[in-house]
A = this chain, B = another copy of it.
Amino acid sequence: MELISENRAFGGRHLRYEHEASTTQCKMTFAVYLPPFASADKPVPVLYWLSGLTCTDQNFMQKAGAMKLASELGMAIVAPDTSPRGDNIPDDDNGAYDFGLGAGFYVDATQAPWNTHYQMYSYVTEELPQLVEANLPVTKERAISGHSMGGHGALVIGLRNPNRYVSVSAFSPISNPSDCPWGQKALGNYLGSDESEWEKYDTAKLLAGATHSIPLLVEQGSKDEFLAEQLKPQSLVHAAQKTNTQLTLNMHEGYDHSYFFIASFIDEHLAFHAGHLGLI
Protein backbone atom coordinates (compact mmCIF):
# COMPACT_ATOMS: atom_id res chain seq x y z
CA MET A 1 0.00 0.00 0.00
CA GLU A 2 1.15 3.51 -0.82
CA LEU A 3 0.88 6.54 1.47
CA ILE A 4 -0.77 9.39 -0.45
CA SER A 5 -1.09 12.01 2.31
CA GLU A 6 -0.38 12.56 5.98
CA ASN A 7 -1.62 15.18 8.45
CA ARG A 8 -0.71 15.53 12.07
CA ALA A 9 -3.90 15.74 14.14
CA PHE A 10 -4.45 15.72 17.89
CA GLY A 11 -0.92 14.46 18.44
CA GLY A 12 -1.53 11.49 16.13
CA ARG A 13 -1.62 11.01 12.39
CA HIS A 14 -4.28 11.07 9.69
CA LEU A 15 -3.01 8.90 6.84
CA ARG A 16 -4.50 8.13 3.43
CA TYR A 17 -3.39 5.04 1.53
CA GLU A 18 -3.98 3.59 -1.93
CA HIS A 19 -3.62 -0.09 -2.78
CA GLU A 20 -4.54 -2.53 -5.52
CA ALA A 21 -7.37 -4.59 -4.05
CA SER A 22 -7.86 -8.18 -5.13
CA THR A 23 -11.48 -8.36 -3.96
CA THR A 24 -12.66 -5.31 -5.89
CA GLN A 25 -10.05 -5.64 -8.66
CA CYS A 26 -9.25 -1.94 -8.64
CA LYS A 27 -7.23 0.65 -6.77
CA MET A 28 -8.86 1.44 -3.43
CA THR A 29 -8.26 4.40 -1.13
CA PHE A 30 -8.72 4.33 2.63
CA ALA A 31 -7.98 6.64 5.54
CA VAL A 32 -6.56 5.86 8.96
CA TYR A 33 -6.35 7.84 12.14
CA LEU A 34 -3.53 6.60 14.35
CA PRO A 35 -3.50 7.98 17.88
CA PRO A 36 -0.28 9.23 19.53
CA PHE A 37 2.14 6.56 20.68
CA ALA A 38 0.65 3.79 18.52
CA SER A 39 3.65 1.67 17.61
CA ALA A 40 4.63 -1.89 16.80
CA ASP A 41 5.49 -2.29 20.49
CA LYS A 42 2.22 -0.75 21.57
CA PRO A 43 -0.40 -1.54 18.92
CA VAL A 44 -3.92 -0.17 19.31
CA PRO A 45 -7.35 -1.61 18.49
CA VAL A 46 -9.33 -0.39 15.47
CA LEU A 47 -12.76 1.09 14.96
CA TYR A 48 -13.83 0.63 11.33
CA TRP A 49 -16.13 3.37 10.04
CA LEU A 50 -18.34 2.81 7.00
CA SER A 51 -19.70 5.93 5.33
CA GLY A 52 -22.95 6.53 3.53
CA LEU A 53 -24.09 7.15 -0.04
CA THR A 54 -21.85 9.52 -2.07
CA CYS A 55 -19.11 9.54 0.58
CA THR A 56 -15.44 8.59 0.30
CA ASP A 57 -12.85 7.84 2.97
CA GLN A 58 -12.68 11.58 3.69
CA ASN A 59 -16.11 12.60 5.00
CA PHE A 60 -15.80 11.01 8.41
CA MET A 61 -12.20 12.11 8.97
CA GLN A 62 -12.98 15.72 8.07
CA LYS A 63 -16.43 16.18 9.57
CA ALA A 64 -17.12 13.79 12.45
CA GLY A 65 -14.88 15.38 15.06
CA ALA A 66 -13.85 11.90 16.24
CA MET A 67 -10.09 12.32 16.36
CA LYS A 68 -9.91 14.17 19.66
CA LEU A 69 -11.42 11.39 21.75
CA ALA A 70 -9.81 8.65 19.63
CA SER A 71 -6.47 10.30 20.43
CA GLU A 72 -7.24 10.29 24.15
CA LEU A 73 -8.57 6.73 24.13
CA GLY A 74 -5.73 5.29 22.06
CA MET A 75 -8.02 3.96 19.35
CA ALA A 76 -7.26 3.79 15.64
CA ILE A 77 -10.01 4.53 13.12
CA VAL A 78 -10.03 3.08 9.60
CA ALA A 79 -12.42 4.53 6.99
CA PRO A 80 -12.67 2.75 3.62
CA ASP A 81 -14.22 4.17 0.49
CA THR A 82 -17.88 3.33 -0.20
CA SER A 83 -17.43 1.50 -3.51
CA PRO A 84 -14.87 0.43 -6.07
CA ARG A 85 -13.66 3.43 -8.10
CA GLY A 86 -12.20 4.11 -11.51
CA ASP A 87 -13.09 4.86 -15.11
CA ASN A 88 -13.61 1.18 -15.86
CA ILE A 89 -15.98 0.52 -12.95
CA PRO A 90 -19.64 0.19 -14.01
CA ASP A 91 -21.98 2.81 -12.58
CA ASP A 92 -25.68 3.55 -12.45
CA ASP A 93 -26.96 4.16 -15.99
CA ASN A 94 -28.28 7.55 -14.99
CA GLY A 95 -25.43 8.42 -12.65
CA ALA A 96 -27.84 8.27 -9.69
CA TYR A 97 -26.26 8.81 -6.26
CA ASP A 98 -27.92 5.77 -4.72
CA PHE A 99 -26.38 2.98 -6.82
CA GLY A 100 -22.99 2.16 -8.32
CA LEU A 101 -20.07 4.48 -7.60
CA GLY A 102 -20.21 5.74 -4.01
CA ALA A 103 -22.98 3.25 -3.28
CA GLY A 104 -21.47 -0.23 -2.93
CA PHE A 105 -23.87 -1.09 -0.09
CA TYR A 106 -21.19 -3.32 1.48
CA VAL A 107 -22.38 -6.42 -0.39
CA ASP A 108 -20.61 -8.98 -2.58
CA ALA A 109 -22.47 -8.56 -5.87
CA THR A 110 -23.46 -11.72 -7.70
CA GLN A 111 -24.97 -10.18 -10.83
CA ALA A 112 -23.12 -8.99 -13.95
CA PRO A 113 -21.72 -6.44 -14.58
CA TRP A 114 -21.51 -5.60 -10.86
CA ASN A 115 -19.96 -8.82 -9.59
CA THR A 116 -16.48 -8.17 -11.02
CA HIS A 117 -15.71 -5.16 -8.82
CA TYR A 118 -18.55 -4.62 -6.34
CA GLN A 119 -17.23 -6.96 -3.63
CA MET A 120 -17.30 -4.50 -0.76
CA TYR A 121 -18.40 -7.03 1.89
CA SER A 122 -15.28 -9.12 1.33
CA TYR A 123 -13.14 -6.02 1.00
CA VAL A 124 -14.28 -4.57 4.32
CA THR A 125 -14.42 -7.80 6.32
CA GLU A 126 -11.34 -9.59 4.93
CA GLU A 127 -8.94 -7.79 2.64
CA LEU A 128 -8.82 -4.39 4.32
CA PRO A 129 -8.40 -5.62 7.92
CA GLN A 130 -5.69 -8.05 6.83
CA LEU A 131 -3.84 -5.25 5.04
CA VAL A 132 -4.22 -2.87 7.97
CA GLU A 133 -3.20 -5.45 10.55
CA ALA A 134 -0.14 -6.49 8.52
CA ASN A 135 1.13 -2.95 7.90
CA LEU A 136 0.04 -0.64 10.71
CA PRO A 137 0.58 -0.67 14.49
CA VAL A 138 -2.82 -2.12 15.34
CA THR A 139 -4.09 -5.19 17.14
CA LYS A 140 -6.62 -7.63 15.71
CA GLU A 141 -9.33 -6.23 17.99
CA ARG A 142 -12.00 -4.60 15.88
CA ALA A 143 -15.19 -2.66 16.39
CA ILE A 144 -17.35 -1.28 13.59
CA SER A 145 -19.67 1.65 13.05
CA GLY A 146 -21.13 3.64 10.20
CA HIS A 147 -23.72 6.07 8.90
CA SER A 148 -26.82 5.46 6.77
CA MET A 149 -25.72 2.97 4.06
CA GLY A 150 -22.61 2.54 6.22
CA GLY A 151 -24.74 2.00 9.30
CA HIS A 152 -26.42 -0.80 7.37
CA GLY A 153 -22.99 -2.14 6.46
CA ALA A 154 -21.71 -1.98 10.02
CA LEU A 155 -24.76 -3.71 11.48
CA VAL A 156 -24.74 -6.45 8.84
CA ILE A 157 -21.02 -7.07 9.28
CA GLY A 158 -21.21 -7.07 13.08
CA LEU A 159 -24.19 -9.42 13.18
CA ARG A 160 -22.64 -11.85 10.71
CA ASN A 161 -19.21 -11.80 12.35
CA PRO A 162 -19.79 -11.51 16.10
CA ASN A 163 -16.47 -13.22 16.83
CA ARG A 164 -14.49 -10.77 14.70
CA TYR A 165 -15.95 -7.49 16.01
CA VAL A 166 -16.38 -6.77 19.72
CA SER A 167 -19.16 -4.21 19.23
CA VAL A 168 -21.17 -2.54 16.48
CA SER A 169 -22.92 0.79 16.26
CA ALA A 170 -24.67 2.91 13.67
CA PHE A 171 -25.99 6.38 13.02
CA SER A 172 -29.21 6.59 10.99
CA PRO A 173 -28.78 3.12 9.45
CA ILE A 174 -30.77 1.66 6.56
CA SER A 175 -32.20 -0.92 8.92
CA ASN A 176 -34.37 -3.06 6.68
CA PRO A 177 -33.08 -2.60 3.11
CA SER A 178 -35.41 -5.28 1.71
CA ASP A 179 -38.24 -2.92 2.56
CA CYS A 180 -37.07 0.49 1.33
CA PRO A 181 -36.38 2.08 -2.09
CA TRP A 182 -32.62 2.51 -1.63
CA GLY A 183 -32.18 -1.07 -0.47
CA GLN A 184 -34.50 -2.65 -3.03
CA LYS A 185 -32.71 -0.91 -5.89
CA ALA A 186 -29.23 -1.81 -4.63
CA LEU A 187 -29.92 -5.39 -3.52
CA GLY A 188 -32.03 -6.11 -6.60
CA ASN A 189 -29.26 -4.98 -8.94
CA TYR A 190 -26.27 -6.35 -7.04
CA LEU A 191 -27.84 -9.64 -5.92
CA GLY A 192 -30.69 -10.29 -8.37
CA SER A 193 -34.42 -10.54 -7.93
CA ASP A 194 -34.45 -13.59 -5.60
CA GLU A 195 -35.17 -11.82 -2.33
CA SER A 196 -33.96 -14.75 -0.25
CA GLU A 197 -30.47 -13.73 -1.37
CA TRP A 198 -31.00 -10.32 0.21
CA GLU A 199 -31.53 -11.62 3.74
CA LYS A 200 -27.86 -11.90 4.65
CA TYR A 201 -27.57 -8.17 3.96
CA ASP A 202 -30.68 -7.09 5.85
CA THR A 203 -30.08 -6.10 9.45
CA ALA A 204 -33.68 -6.48 10.59
CA LYS A 205 -33.74 -10.05 9.23
CA LEU A 206 -30.31 -10.95 10.56
CA LEU A 207 -31.20 -9.56 13.96
CA ALA A 208 -34.43 -11.57 14.16
CA GLY A 209 -32.43 -14.73 13.57
CA ALA A 210 -29.35 -13.85 15.61
CA THR A 211 -28.00 -16.65 17.77
CA HIS A 212 -24.84 -14.88 18.92
CA SER A 213 -25.06 -11.68 20.90
CA ILE A 214 -23.03 -8.60 20.03
CA PRO A 215 -23.44 -5.19 21.70
CA LEU A 216 -25.47 -2.90 19.41
CA LEU A 217 -25.88 0.87 19.70
CA VAL A 218 -27.95 2.91 17.23
CA GLU A 219 -28.42 6.69 17.07
CA GLN A 220 -31.27 8.26 15.08
CA GLY A 221 -32.48 11.82 14.61
CA SER A 222 -36.22 12.51 14.63
CA LYS A 223 -35.99 15.11 11.83
CA ASP A 224 -33.96 12.87 9.54
CA GLU A 225 -35.39 13.43 6.06
CA PHE A 226 -34.96 9.72 5.23
CA LEU A 227 -36.36 8.30 8.46
CA ALA A 228 -39.78 7.03 7.42
CA GLU A 229 -39.10 5.94 3.85
CA GLN A 230 -35.54 4.57 3.93
CA LEU A 231 -34.21 3.99 7.45
CA LYS A 232 -37.02 2.39 9.49
CA PRO A 233 -35.16 1.85 12.78
CA GLN A 234 -38.33 0.49 14.40
CA SER A 235 -37.66 -2.68 12.38
CA LEU A 236 -34.57 -3.18 14.55
CA VAL A 237 -36.54 -2.86 17.77
CA HIS A 238 -39.12 -5.37 16.59
CA ALA A 239 -36.43 -7.82 15.49
CA ALA A 240 -34.38 -7.48 18.68
CA GLN A 241 -37.45 -8.21 20.79
CA LYS A 242 -37.62 -11.66 19.19
CA THR A 243 -34.16 -12.56 20.46
CA ASN A 244 -31.97 -11.86 23.45
CA THR A 245 -30.03 -9.18 21.60
CA GLN A 246 -29.30 -6.07 23.63
CA LEU A 247 -30.04 -3.20 21.30
CA THR A 248 -29.91 0.42 22.41
CA LEU A 249 -31.73 2.78 20.01
CA ASN A 250 -31.43 6.44 20.98
CA MET A 251 -33.85 8.81 19.26
CA HIS A 252 -32.80 12.46 19.22
CA GLU A 253 -35.41 15.16 18.86
CA GLY A 254 -34.75 17.61 16.04
CA TYR A 255 -31.58 16.07 14.59
CA ASP A 256 -31.28 15.37 10.86
CA HIS A 257 -29.24 13.05 8.60
CA SER A 258 -26.12 15.25 8.40
CA TYR A 259 -22.64 14.96 9.82
CA PHE A 260 -23.67 17.60 12.38
CA PHE A 261 -25.76 14.82 13.93
CA ILE A 262 -22.88 12.36 13.84
CA ALA A 263 -20.48 14.88 15.35
CA SER A 264 -22.95 15.61 18.15
CA PHE A 265 -22.95 12.01 19.37
CA ILE A 266 -19.78 10.40 18.02
CA ASP A 267 -18.03 10.61 21.40
CA GLU A 268 -20.69 8.38 22.96
CA HIS A 269 -20.07 5.79 20.24
CA LEU A 270 -16.31 5.94 20.64
CA ALA A 271 -16.73 5.44 24.39
CA PHE A 272 -19.12 2.53 23.78
CA HIS A 273 -16.60 0.79 21.53
CA ALA A 274 -13.68 1.70 23.80
CA GLY A 275 -15.42 -0.10 26.63
CA HIS A 276 -15.77 -3.27 24.58
CA LEU A 277 -12.22 -2.94 23.23
CA GLY A 278 -10.89 -2.82 26.79
CA LEU A 279 -9.61 0.75 26.50
CA ILE A 280 -11.68 2.12 29.37
Contact = CB atoms under 8 A, between A and B. Distances in A.
Contacts of A264: 8-11, 67-68
A254 B14 CA distance: 12
A118 interface: no
A9 B263 contact: yes
A129 B255 CA distance: 28
A10 B263 CA distance: 8
B65 A7 contact: no
B254 A62 contact: no
Given A62-B62, A62-B63, A8 B223 contact: yes
A17 interface: no
Contacts of A114: none
A202 to B, nearest CB: 29
A256 interface: yes
A234 B259 CA distance: 37
Interface string A1-24: 000000111110010000000000
Given A8-B256, A258-B7, A65 B263 contact: yes
B63 A14 contact: no
Nearest to A9: B260
Contacts of A9: 260-261, 263-264
Contacts of A68: 65, 263-264
A254 B255 CA distance: 36
A150 interface: no
A36 to B, nearest CB: 11
Given A8-B255, A9-B263, A65-B68, 15 more contacts: A7-B256, A7-B260, A7-B261, A8-B221, A8-B261, A8-B264, A9-B261, A10-B263, A11-B264, A14-B260, A62-B63, A62-B259, A65-B263, A67-B263, A68-B263
Interface of A: 7-11, 14, 62-63, 65, 67-68, 221, 223, 252, 254-256, 258-261, 263-264
25 contacts: A7-B255, A7-B260, A7-B261, A8-B221, A8-B252, A8-B254, A8-B255, A8-B260, A8-B261, A8-B264, A9-B261, A9-B263, A9-B264, A10-B263, A10-B264, A11-B264, A14-B260, A62-B63, A62-B259, A63-B63, A65-B65, A65-B68, A67-B263, A67-B264, A68-B264
